[in-house]
Structure formats: structure tokens, C-alpha cells
Structure 1
């Protein structure tokens, strides 16, 4: 009887020791499986190509359009060129005296009730004297550009009969145009477009330097 009990005890100890060894080995195997294979990591990096400058600008432009729609001037300043600020032009032909607002002045400027001269009106030649908010409603977000009919990167063809001279002012820029087509009742003459102009800053990051409105002119 004592021999039988001793045998059972011995078998139990052997089984217990085996379980402990198996438990101790499992974390090591788990750690081995979590180790990154250098070849696999290189393949993953190769499968994810870096974005081109054009893609980066397009992504920033889409974000800027959404911020403009939301009238979120505070966050918009994060995309504005530190040295140049952002220039505003009511038409595709930028005048030499076009207003440019510095980055740190942008938020407060659109709260101002003082009228400024933003250029001259097409046809009449009268000065465009508007508060910043009035200018915003008439010459910045005057159409649903966030859902534009066409979005064109670096457009080369003019939409209307106005000479587009953005590249004369910003020769190293990328331009993203948001175009909203006109209506049939107006023979499609009431189309609108907004051009967002980006240039690199001193750190090599693409920043907003101009918002150029476009429409049919006489």
C-alpha cells in the first residue's frame, strides 16, 4: 500500500514539474514571435511610399477649405505663412496693392468692423470697400467650395476672361482651385472658383500665402 501511494506521489510530482516547464517556455516563445523580422519591416516601408509634395498640398488645401467654411480663423492661422501672411484678391488678376494680412493679425482682423479697400469692382471700377466679414461673404466663401464640382491642382487654363497672374506673384507656389459650376438659368455665367495658394516657408513646410477668388468678369 505504501509503495502504491509513493508511486502516485512520484507521478504527480513529475506532472507538476512538466507543467511548470511548459509555462516558463511560453513567454519566451511569445517574445520570439513578437520580434520584428527586418526583412518584413523593410517590405512594409517599401509598400508605403512617401507622399508627394502635390499630395501634401492637396491635403492641406482640403483642410483649409473646411476651416474657411467653418469660419475657424484661429485654427486657420496654423496653415498661414509666418513671414508673408495671406494675400486676398477678389479676382483672379491680383493687383499690386492687394491686401495681405499677417498670421498673428488674421483672427482679430475678421472681427473688425472697419471697412477696407480690397480692390476695384469689375465693370464699375468702384472701390471694394467692405469690412473683413463682408469681404468674406462676398469674395471668399460665396459658394459651397467644400463640395466643389471640380478640384484642380495647379490649373493652367483660365475659367473666364480674366488674366490669371498668380504665378507672377508666387512663382514657386502650388495652387489648388475649387470650382463651382454656374446655373442653367444664368447660362452658367454665375460660376465661382476659389484658389488656395501655398508656398514653402523657411522650414520647408507648405503654407497658405494667398486666397484668390475668381468669377466671370466683364
Structure 2
């Protein structure tokens, strides 16, 4: 009888110990699992952060590359304008939007816009167009393309500009500058010529070349916007 009781007690002790060990193992396994999950979460967070940094760096580099490219294209366009080389100039024109001309930095809704093919014959076109209205008088600016070129495109030595600005958003005169509103995804290169003491520095002028990406992702000329002192 005593042996049976002793054996029974030993069995209970064994079972209790086994259950205790199993519980300990479960707790240890759970702690290990939690630790592994925590490490995985940290790794995923680091990978995500690294990916975001790389993406941001790539975007910054792309922006720098685009800015350099636009500046180079603007200088090339300026040279073609100086040479009156309309045929080669047309290759820079935006294929979908064409080329808009504005005599002042406030671009009106009815601004004259030429398609790429029309730009090719710009200086051979003897038709008079209404390019807007003169500041002050309000009279129509009715000129042939060549006449408009002399008054509102290459009306100064812009190849020797006193200042060259990239995306300059300030208005130099008292007229509202709405280039960015009309072309929100654009970059603008401004060639600025200072005024002279003889005219109280009011004879300053500027030429803005506006570029936007076309459907192929290439930067193309969408507008030539003139600027000068206005009343």
C-alpha cells in the first residue's frame, strides 16, 4: 500500500514538473518569437526609411539634371532667336501646346500661339496679327511676326544680359506676373537687361523663355514672354 502511494506521488511530481517545463518552454518560445518579430519590424522600418532616402535623393538629382538641361536649352534658343533661325527654333517648340507669345509678363487668355510648323516660317510670314494691347494706350498691337520680333522678342542684346534668373517669381515692374499660373509645371529662364541713367533706369527689359515637358518627357519651349517697364 505504501509503495502504491509513493509511486502515485512520484507520478504526480513527474507530471507537474513536465507541465511546468512545457509552460516555461511556451513562455520562452513566445519571448523569442516576439523578439524576432520586433527585429523584423526594425529591419522593415530601416529598409523603408532607406528606400525613402534613396527615392528622395534620386528625385533631387533628377531636378538638378532637369534644371541644367533647361538652362542649356534656353541658351540655345536665345542664340537661335538672335540669328533669326526659325527653322531650328521650331525643333524646340512644344509639339502639343505650340509656342505662345506675350508682349508683357501678364499672359492673357487670347495670347497668340503658333504651332511648331508655323514657327518654321515665322520670319517669312507677312500677315499682321493682334498680339495684345499696348500698355498705357490700350491700342491693339497689330504687327507682322518680324515687327513683333523687333519690339517684343529680341529688342536688346540679351546674349549679354546683366542678369540671368532661373524660375524668378518676382515681378520687376508693377504688372502681375502670371507665367506660373498659366504654365504650372514649367521652368522659366529670364534674361534681364538693366535700364540706363539717361532714362532713369526705366528702360530696362527682360526676355522670359518658358519650358514644359512634352508627352515624351522632353523639355520643350512653350512661351516667349517679354517684360518691360509699364504704367
Q: 1:90 aligns to what?
A: 103
Q: 144, 149, 152: which one pairs with 2:162? A: 149
Distance 1:156 1:135 in 2: 25
Give the C-alpha shift of residue 215 in structure 1: 0.2
Q: TM-score, normalised by structure 1?
A: 0.76
Q: 1:169 aligns to what?
A: 182
Q: CA RMSD in A?
A: 1.1
Distance 1:102 1:62 in 2: 21
Q: 2:142 aligns to what?
A: 129
Distance 2:219 2:93 in 1: 9
Q: 2:152 aligns to what?
A: 139
Give the C-alpha shift of residue 138 in structure 1: 0.3
Distance 2:214 2:79 in 1: 22
Distance 1:177 1:109 in 2: 22
Q: 203, 206, 211: which one pairs with 1:198? A: 211
CA contact (8 A) 2:168 2:190 kept: yes
Mapping for residues 99-110 of structure 1, pairs under 5 Å: 99-110=112-123
CA contact (8 A) 2:169 2:177 kept: no
CA contact (8 A) 2:86 2:122 kept: no
Q: 1:181 aligns to what?
A: 194
Distance 1:105 1:128 in 2: 20
- CA deviations on 1:144-190 (whole Å, 9 max, x unpaired) are 11110000000021111110000111000000000000101111100
Give the C-alpha shift of residue 210 in structure 1: 0.1
Partner SS for 1:110: helix
Higher helix share: 2
- Runs of 4+ with >6 A deviation: none
**Number of matched pairs:** 170
Distance 1:65 1:200 in 2: 19
Q: 1:160 aligns to what?
A: 173
Distance 2:100 2:127 in 1: 18
- CA deviations on 1:117-158 (whole Å, 9 max, x unpaired) are 000000000000000000000000001111100000000211
Distance 2:155 2:66 in 1: 29
Q: 1:116 aligns to what?
A: 129
Q: 1:208 aligns to what?
A: 221
Long gaps (5+) in structure 2: 1-60
Partner SS for 2:80: helix
Rg larger in structure: 2
